Structure 1
Amino acid sequence: MGELPALSLADWIVLAVVDEEPTHGFAIAALTTEHGDLGRIWHVPRPIVYRSLDRLTGLGLIRVEATEAGSRGPQRSVLTTTPAGNAAVIAWLHQPVGHVRDMRSALLAKLALLARRRLDSTDLLAAQRDVLTPVHEALERQQADATGFGRVLLAWRLENVGAALRFIDTVAG
């Protein structure tokens, strides 16, 4: 797959859940509530789930596979990914995040989604380490010359990158 589509984290989560198995918006919204399996990482309110489904359909990443009677309401659409949607999900799940600030959201979401699929996260974690290691080394080099508040900011950034690397080591086991 070439360049990944420019999607929000909510869009990626919705797309990845649809890619697991054909499903409908209400089931996705249940997973992404504040206390849902995925919502504990990144809460996606129900209106955003449905907006994402519309967007992903418009982009040709998902399609309606069937309609079925809803248990308490109107018919619902059962959605599945297209080949392009499946390829995008697979590529995204294995792509490390670019910044430490995205580890709490996007990396944890990817780890959870990989675990739901019973897929190994070793390659993703190794790639994430490869992204962060040069950042950590560069910050360490800058530390000697830092003064004033720049030194404080640098210390903060260095500690965050170091914590992220320790997290990767812990999770990678």
Structure 2
Amino acid sequence: MGRGMGERRRDGLADDGGQEARVELSMSAYVVLGLIARHGPMTPYELKARVEESVGFFWPIPHAQLYRDPPRLAELGLLREEAEEGGRRRRFFHLTPEGERALDAWLAAPEAPPADNRDPAQLRLAFADLGEPEDLVRLARSQAEQHREKVERYRRRRAALDPDGPGRARDHTLSLGILHEQAHAAFWETIAAAGDEDDDIPDLSPRDRWRDN
């Protein structure tokens, strides 16, 4: 299939008449490549189900993105599209040798981009001194409960792993998720306990000071 981009290379570059152009793929695109490599040809709808049962608990992907990525990857030569001739005329996407090489290169890379951990509760914590002390205690209790619930949810998912499936990779991701949620729960529990143990919670807010000035 003529793509006007030359032959795809293992390092993620396209060689076209002596000129190289890097193909930038999103993380969701690599998820698509990885799931098709693991489970075989799939429709976007099937990809959605696979995301939910695998990486969705720590890397959620909008459903619309899973319908956009496969055709784009097919245009790049990393997937091959096959449409049913009858029935629902579903569109199946197959991994190509170029897609396999791109996936291999991504997995072999020694570094990864910095994590994007945008936590709304942490953002509120940054401005907690502007609010009432009791507000922080309530937030801490709520956050501790949420993170403890996630710990239990991940433990149940890990216990239910199919030993004949890709269990080791999923066990690693769930174990990391458990440690991550345990750390967050312990932190917020410390904040909540500090408020519970102090009848006269220190005033964290400077607002009353400058309101009277």
The alignment's TM-score, normalised by the length of structure 2, stands at 0.42
In the alignment, residue 63 of structure 2 is paired with which amino acid? R
Residue identity in the other structure for 1:29: K
Tell me what 2:166 maps to: 116
Alpha-carbon RMSD across the aligned residues, in angstroms, is 3.1
Shift of residue 77 of structure 1?
Answer: 1.6
Q: 1:98 aligns with which of 107, 112, 117?
A: 112
Tell me what 1:63 maps to.
Answer: 80
Shift of 1:12: 0.8
Aligned length: 105
Matched, 1:19 2:25: no
Aligned pair partner of 2:68 in 51, 56, 66: 51
Contact 2:80 2:95 (8 Å CA) reproduced? yes
Alignment partners' CA distance in 1, 2:24 and 2:107: 14
> Larger Cα Rg: Structure 1 or Structure 2?
2
Opposite residue 93 of structure 1, the aligned amino acid is L
CA shift digits 1:76-122 (9 cap, x unpaired): 1221111100111112122233344269xxxxxxxxxxx83968xxx
Q: For residue 32 of structure 1, what is the aligned residue in structure 2?
A: 51
Per-residue CA deviation, residues 11-52 of structure 1 (Å, 9 max, x unaligned), is 11011112221121111111223xx32211211121100100
Q: Percent identity?
A: 32
User: What is the distance in 1 between the residues matched to 2:43 and 2:86?
Assistant: 11
Counterpart Cα distance in 2 of 1:37 and 1:57: 23
Going by fraction, where is helix more abundant, 1 or 2? 1
Letter of the 2:31 partner, please give it: I
TM-score (norm 1): 0.51
The one-letter amino acid of 1:6's match is E
Structure 2: where are the runs of 5+ without partners?
Answer: 1-9, 14-22, 118-164, 170-213
Query: Residue 60 of structure 2: SS of its match in structure 1?
Result: coil
- Which of these residues, 84, 88, 91, is aligned with residue 77 of structure 1? 91
* Cross-structure match for 1:41: 58
The answer as to whether partners of 1:23 and 1:80 remain within 8 angstroms in 2 is: yes
